[in-house]
Chains A and B, each alone.
Chain A
Amino acid sequence: MKISQKDVEHVARLARLTVAPEELEALTGQMDAILGYVDKLNELDTEGIEAMAHAVPMSNAFREDELKPAIGIERALQNAPVAGDECFTVPKVIE
């Protein structure tokens, strides 16, 4: 096995997801099969090969630091599940 049920539960916590107990076995099996498959990359010797982050070679894209019209507070908040006082509202973080 590449991955255990315990690992899956740990990854779920990292990803801020909850896996229902009745789904854990099937999900672990599917993830294990996929991780087993991608192991085939280890057949290739990649010593000294540069990792590729982008399809086209590019360096940092800089622009002048100028003020431009922005979307506005009303528009920015229009999809907020909860908002008030021109802010997004979230559950209390600090006791």
Chain B
Amino acid sequence: MKFHNLTIQDIRQKLNSGELTSVELTRVCLERIKATDDKLNAFITVCEEEALAAAAVADQQIASGNGALLTGIPVAVKDIFNTLDVRTTCASKILDDYVSPYDATTITKLREQGAIIIGKLNMDEFAMGSSGENSAAGAVYNPWDTQRVPGGSSSGSAAAVAAGQVVATLGTDTGGSVRQPASHCGVVGLKPTYGRVSRYGVVAFASSLDQVGPVAGNVEDCALMLGVVAGYDPADSTSVDCLVPDYLENLKTGVAGKKIGLPKEYFIDGLDPDIKKAVNSAIETYRQLGAEIVEVSLPHTDYSVASYYLIAMAEASSNLARYDGVRFGIRQDSGDGLIGMYQQTRTAGFGDEVKRRIMLGTYALSSGYYDAYYLKAQKVRTLIRQDFHDVFEQVDLLLTPVAPTPAFKIGAMTNDPLQMYLSDIFTIPTNLAGTCAMSLPCGFSEDGLPIGLQLIGKPFAEAEMLQAAYAFEQATDWSDRVPEL
């Protein structure tokens, strides 16, 4: 069975009618993982026994008419979500032997809807990276071309969906980590508004920017997954107590009469010609669908990468102070006292990119530099948010590319971290502003690599953004293509 052209609701019907059992479906996923993951390395942990046992229970629930939205459907999550009695490594050596003593709220919500957690997905270590290469579990490879990166940091979350290993996954997006890999792998990925989804139990990278987001093969499944995980959580004091609409209910509303803005700072000279062509064609599609297209300006865009990396690194240096060999993770101790144990543990446990960011963050927060770096970056962040606030007085949505180039070759930027950071230019500003955004397929490069379109919505207007994405998806056939593996 192939579920590339089936939505979660199609599968739901097949399960409910008895045409398919959850055990059969789970076996299909497990076999697909076995058949493809030596090429992709998308999974860190596969929970085969637990998944099959859960599938058998799900089949009983379905037979007795007690199925929920995701009952019996296998999904997978980035290895950053605490999942009870399963390893959660964040693709780091320092958490190599860490077994979660509890479920993240998002995992609880998936389980409440009957989802089967089939495994934990590879990623850039502690979600730091744009290529999927910074992993103690080894790099992830792009299903469309295994010589290329899948994007990052939710590399496994995007690759697994693109390769048909599972129908949907969860990732996290701090500066584009759901949208950019979704774009590079030709799937749909959504970063909700800051505060929309609980982060309780999700390992923290940069707390003022991190947000949980779904990845799926189509817009409808992405909407369904968002509805499952969204909502206020008393255990996360940054989650926002506002109504979660039914994202599926008005999905077919269309975009007629909507005003879509094209921020001119995102359509720069250096943009890859294939991407320019695909995005321009998407703009034309939206025009034909009845949207009004206007040029707008987000004048501080050029400062977003600098502001973002200072804030993200500073917060990371603070958040990652907890990995000190005391309460969890590995410990290295050659008997040089407590400080020596900290140093040896952290030096042995963290990878190069994580160390680099901790160092830069520590520097930016250190005495004498705090005002010049961290405080300055926070002030510039205010200007960037104001840009979005102003522009959303004029338009309903923004349309931009997701990344300046299609997926690049493995190793192409390994020795040039700054160049890698600059590739996040189109996704970072929305994390700084806190608003919602998503990536959906809008074409292919001449080399056959997927290209993603970014829609940016007003804060907490995910429903409207999904409606626009759905209209585009129905009018085109980019989401129907699947990679050959």
Interface residues, chain A, CB within 8 Å of chain B? 3, 7-8, 11-12, 14-18, 27, 30-31, 33-35, 37-44, 46, 49-56, 58, 61, 63, 71, 75-76, 78-82, 88, 90-93
Contact = CB atoms under 8 A, between A and B. Distances in A.
B327 A38 contact: no
A41 B209 contact: no
Contacts of B379: 46, 49-52
Contact of A55 (B101, B237, B385): B385
Given A55-B385, A80-B327, A90 B341 contact: yes
Contacts, number: 159
B359 interface: yes
A81 B329 contact: yes
Contacts of A79: 97-99, 101, 327-329
In the complex, which of the residues B208, B326, B342 has the most CB atoms of chain A within 10 Å of its own CB atom?
Answer: B326
A8 B355 CA distance: 12
A88 B326 contact: yes
Nearest to A62: B237
Nearest to B85: A78
Given A34-B421, A56-B434, A15 B331 contact: no
B356 interface: yes
Contacts of A43: 303
B267 interface: no
A50 to B, nearest CB: 6
Contacts of A42: 376
B360 A35 contact: yes
B43 to A, nearest CB: 22
A58 B300 CA distance: 24
Given A15-B317, A18-B344, A90-B338, 13 more contacts: A12-B359, A15-B346, A16-B324, A17-B350, A17-B355, A30-B417, A41-B376, A46-B383, A55-B195, A56-B240, A58-B238, A76-B101, A79-B101
Contacts of A75: 101-102
A18 B238 contact: no
B347 A17 contact: yes
Interface string B89-104: 0000000011101100
A46 B328 CA distance: 42
Interface residues of B, number: 72
A14 B330 contact: no
Nearest to A61: B237
B360 A31 contact: yes
Contacts of B342: 16
26 contacts: A11-B359, A11-B363, A11-B366, A16-B321, A16-B324, A17-B346, A17-B347, A31-B359, A34-B309, A37-B306, A39-B306, A40-B302, A42-B376, A46-B383, A52-B381, A54-B194, A55-B208, A56-B193, A56-B238, A58-B240, A81-B325, A81-B331, A82-B331, A88-B327, A90-B341, A91-B337
Given A34-B418, A55-B194, A56-B240, A15 B359 contact: yes
Contacts of A27: 356, 359
A3 B99 contact: no
B280 interface: no
A2 B340 CA distance: 29
- Closest A-B pairs by Cβ, 6 of them: A55-B434, A81-B331, A61-B237, A79-B328, A51-B378, A55-B194
B377 interface: yes
A63 B376 CA distance: 33
Nearest to A58: B238
B385 A52 contact: yes
B178 to A, nearest CB: 16
A53 B375 CA distance: 9
Contacts of A41: 303, 306-307, 310, 376-377, 380
A84 to B, nearest CB: 13
A59 to B, nearest CB: 11
